[in-house]
Amino acid sequence: MVSSEQPFLLFWFEGMRLNKSISMLSGELLQFTFKRIEVLFLSLLFEDKLIFTHENDTKKGKKVKIQLR
């Protein structure tokens, strides 16, 4: 079992086919566009680890800023 949830977080982001290599540090702020259902799912999975702020809707999905606590 992995002691840190960071690798799990990286796994999920890579699974969403983002064209960025992600290595999140504590307090680091990232911004991406997700489908609403993915945002909700990530919110539930990492509720205690991530801060989500929704900026606006686009035709492709919801633009989201993500910060690792």
Assigned domain for 3 exists = no
Q: How large is the average pLDDT for residues 35-64?
A: 57
Q: Which of 24-28, 50-54, 55-59 has the lowest mean pLDDT?
A: 24-28
Asked if the model's pLDDT at residue 51 lies above 50, the reply is yes
pLDDT, tens digit, 9 for 90 and up, residues 8-36: 444 345 445 444 444 554 555 555 555 55
Assigned domain for 19 exists = no
Q: How large is the average pLDDT for residues 42-50?
A: 59
Expressed as residue numbers, the domain containing 43 is 27-69
Assigned domain for 32 exists = yes
Assigned domain for 44 exists = yes
Assigned domain for 20 exists = no
> What's the token pair of residue 47?
């509720």
The average confidence (pLDDT) of the chain is 52
Sequence-distant (6+) residues with CB within 8 A of 69 are: 26, 27, 48, 49, 50, 51
Q: Which helix (H) or strand (E) holds 65?
A: strand 62-68
Task: Provide the domain count of the chain.
Answer: 1
